[in-house]
Amino acid sequence: MSRNAESTAFRSALEVIRAVEPRVADAIGAELTDQRESLKLIASENYASPATLLAMGNWFSDKYAEGTVGRRFYAGCQNVDTVEALAAEHARELFGAAHAYVQPHSGIDANLVAFWAVLADRVESPALKKAQVRQVNDLTEADWFALRRELGNQRMLGMSLDAGGHLTHGFRPNISGKMFDQRSYGTDPATGLIDYDRVAEAAREFKPLILVGGYSAYPRKVNFRILREIADSVGATFMVDMAHFAGLVAGKVFTGDFDPVPHAHIVTTTTHKSLRGPRGGMVLCQPELADQVDRGCPMVLGGPLPHVMAAKAVALAEARRPNFADYAQRIVDNAQALAEGLLRRGAKLVTGGTDNHLVLIDVSGYGLTGRQAEQALLDSGIVTNRNSVPQDPNGAWYTSGIRIGTPALTTRGLGTAEMDQTAELIHTVLTQTTAGANADGTPSKAKYNLDPALADKVARQATDLLAPHPLYPAIDLA
């Protein structure tokens, strides 16, 4: 696509929107301005290509397509079949997977599809035996009652939230913590690293149906070969949630023991984050689980989003290009440079560094909570998110950590030199921010003090740092 064509496409789209609701058009334009001017360091965010973004704004949005390719509950889905099949084909080839299911709307949806697929495949239900049926539609109300009671007692072993796991890995308030009798494994208190011997011990004691690997805030590689061996030793299904690091797998930065696809029975992911596609989810699995996974709609999902599946096909095709591997490696190089820059300035990092795309700063060393640090950085043009650290005394809301990641800035073309400058800006803000007090004089976990002049100065420096690396340079909305 030519530079002129990109500008014309997005300008024209905003003109059409403005004719109906100008405030929405204004908000879209403001979002592009904000993203262009801010240092985006949220590890779970990225910038999708213009082709991927445009693939979502089309007539596929108007189409219902429940079912799977060639087996729909609605007529007229031949074009949806084309884009869904293309997305699945690209996913299989990109990751070396036997089967790909590209309908999930999000990572949580993908995990729910995986959980229920494993349950449906593994559970020998007395209710099903009694009814002598195998089709869900044939179950009576009594059958369902017995089945729900049995499935509610199944066991999951996953990484704890404060150690870096995700809330869908059994966090009690999440549906995963209600579906399963759940137990968590953490990290070594001294190093912050996974202790595989302790995971094996927990698995032997707990005997889970599902062992979950993967993370949302663990800054190191995971050895999926060892976790698969642990799962096999207790007869568990091994599931990996690679939503955060799928781009590093696709780009062949993580290979061998650190590539989950050859080792796991089932793998879930988002299609954005480090994969740089549209917001959505996906499930990869071994052949024996394919039929159950393909029942994701209507088992868990509503109607698929064909316009997002079209965008997934575009983004996955982009990820199969040779330059994506270079991009993935630069993500890790930048994360390690950012970590090194912070360490040189005295920051405390969980695990002391990173092997992947993210860095977790323990901001208690600055006398701050994660919430205070997050807002102070935002005031200064640096977009991050607060995150728990292992054994976090401030809990999951206020937290003691800031999670930062490099996929988005790497997409913009920033390199290791700019990462050191970014570390300097972060350190400056955090050292100049102090904890605030409540109206009654008691310490606050949310309020903070930061000189607005300093925040403005850092924000200008952040903008200057980004200036040589414009975001969507071919797109001019003026």
Task: Give 24's contacts (C-beta < 8 A, 6+ positions apart).
Answer: 17
Sign, Cα dihedral of 103, 106, 109, 110: positive
Q: What distance in Å separates the CA atoms of residue 19 and residue 207, rounded to the nearest whole number?
A: 60
Q: What distance in Å separates the CA atoms of residue 101 and residue 53, rounded to the nearest whole number?
A: 21
Q: What distance in Å separates the CA atoms of residue 416 and residue 42, rounded to the nearest whole number?
A: 17
Structure letter (DSSP) for residue 236 = P
Q: What distance in Å separates the CA atoms of residue 154 and residue 11, rounded to the nearest whole number?
A: 52
Query: Where does 69-106 have alpha helices with state H?
Result: 78-95
Among residues 279, 345, 348, 457, the one annotated as catalytic is 279
Among residues 84, 162, 241, 392, the one annotated as catalytic is 241
Residue 121 backbone phi and psi in degrees, to 5:
-80, -35
Among residues 37, 63, 64, 348, the one annotated as catalytic is 64
Q: Is 273 a catalytic residue?
A: yes
Q: Is 66 a catalytic residue?
A: yes
Q: Is 64 a catalytic residue?
A: yes
Q: Is 241 a catalytic residue?
A: yes
Among residues 40, 220, 273, 412, the one annotated as catalytic is 273
DSSP track, 396-443: HHH-SEEEEE-HHHHHHT--HHHHHHHHHHHHHHHHH-EEEE-TTS-E
Q: Is 33 a catalytic residue?
A: no
Between CA 218 and CA 226, with CA 223 as vertex, the angle to 5 degrees is 130
CA distances from 192 to 164, 256, 273, 349, 389 (A): 10, 23, 24, 10, 9
Q: What distance in Å separates the CA atoms of residue 321 and residue 316, rounded to the nearest whole number?
A: 9
Residue 276 backbone phi and psi in degrees, to 5:
65, 35
Residue 208 backbone phi and psi in degrees, to 5:
-75, 155
Task: Give 442's contacts (C-beta < 8 A, 6+ positions apart).
Answer: none
Q: Is 424 a catalytic residue?
A: no
Q: What distance in Å separates the CA atoms of residue 159 and residue 152, rounded to the nearest whole number?
A: 20
Among residues 168, 237, 268, 270, the one annotated as catalytic is 270
Among residues 66, 81, 150, 229, the one annotated as catalytic is 66
Q: Are 10 and 478 in contact (CB under 8 A)?
A: no
Residue 267 backbone phi and psi in degrees, to 5:
-130, 135
Q: Where are the beta strands (DSSP E) in 28-168?
A: 39-40, 67-68, 71-72, 99-101, 155-159
Specify the 3-state DSSP secondary structure of 326. helix
Residue 447 burial class via C-beta count within 10 angstroms: exposed 0-12, middle 13-18, buried 19 and up: middle
- Residue 159: name the closest of 95, 210, 108 by CA: 210
Catalytic residues: 64, 66, 241, 270, 273, 279
